[in-house]
Amino acid sequence: MAKLSKQVWGTLEDGSQVLLYRLTLKDGSYVDLSNLGARLVSCVMPDRQGKLDNCVQGYPELADYLADGKNHGATCGRYANRLAAATVTIDGKHFQLEANEGPNTLHGGFAGYNLHLWDCQADDEKVVFSLFSPDGEGGFPGNLEVKTTYTLSEDHHLTILEEADTDQATVVNLTNHSYFNIGGDNCPNVLGQRLTIHADFTTEVDAALIPGGAILPVKGGCFDFNRGKLIGQDIEADNEQLCFGKGYDHNFVLRKTERGQLEEAARIYDPASGRELTCLTTKPGLQIYSANHLSSLPYRSAAQTRSGLHTAICLETQNFPNAAAITWFPDPVLRPQQHYAQTTVYAFSAKV
């Protein structure tokens, strides 16, 4: 069982305390979690020689997270990813949302959950963050009760359980937005890491990265990771979809044996360190984002600062982007008396 510790990370302008919770395993591995955005701040795991390194990218100080306002490690909601024209229609009723990426909504709009201060209950077994999202926040209907629960097992499995309940029909799509670089402190980018994705299709996007409903086969192309390949192998290929994202920023339609079951979605292997990260999820989609827009921003990876394109990769488990507007995508509507519960596991290991 992990050992829990807690400290004050900083204070907001209104005097509220931002807390940092650490779950530590017997071998020294640990994760740092914050009530600011129900956020994964650090994830320190061993390589093949037992050396501990941070496997997620973040900022050196709390002030940097507040100044940037982005989603590093945070729980994104009410609807993660993009919604076209900042609108949703539920049961024939139209709702105007906050447009925070041109005319569209990204990760819940300006009222997204990444900078909310969540309530927390924690012990050695788990850290449970909870948030009340009121009716109309960001334009979304319904009072929503949200929970994000983190557990860390001795076999280096970080499990994230996301839950939600509503008092009226709304759309819900929660995800964790961690930037992974399992190479650790001295790994400048992820281009030499090997990625496998269990998906035969992606959802086609337009220039604004909004799906319109078309499903594209990946077989034999630059989006085909079924047999595993280096992340950098095709990232600069002459492909319209890649050009739209300036790299990978696309939803993969996961190949499932049974809907809603916890199954392996993807894995990343770093040859230099021997670390491997396996992502399992109950969700139908996986957004692969290869950190295509971070070139001017300084980031912290444990002991050093680094910056540049493709320094990390996001494995955002999710419903499909813009699913509220496309009837043949998985239904994102949550209704009263229904309970939203989705699980994602990030399982770390090392190959000798």
Catalytic residues: 177, 316
pLDDT tens track for 244-303: 999 999 999 999 999 999 999 999 999 999 999 999 999 999 999 999 987 555 555 444
Read off φ and ψ for residue 186, nearest 5 degrees. -100, 15
Per-residue pLDDT of the chain (352 residues; tens, 9 = 90+): 899 999 999 999 999 999 999 999 999 999 999 999 999 999 999 999 999 999 999 888 899 899 887 899 999 999 999 999 999 999 999 999 999 999 999 999 999 999 999 999 999 999 999 999 999 999 999 999 999 999 999 999 999 999 999 999 999 999 999 999 999 978 999 999 999 999 999 999 999 999 999 999 999 999 999 999 999 999 999 999 999 999 999 999 999 999 999 999 999 999 999 999 999 999 999 999 999 987 555 555 444 445 578 999 999 999 999 999 999 999 999 999 999 999 999 999 999 8
Q: All domains of the chain, ordered by start, with CATH?
A: 3-350 (2.70.98.10)
pLDDT tens track for 45-88: 999 999 999 999 988 889 989 988 789 999 999 999 999 999 99
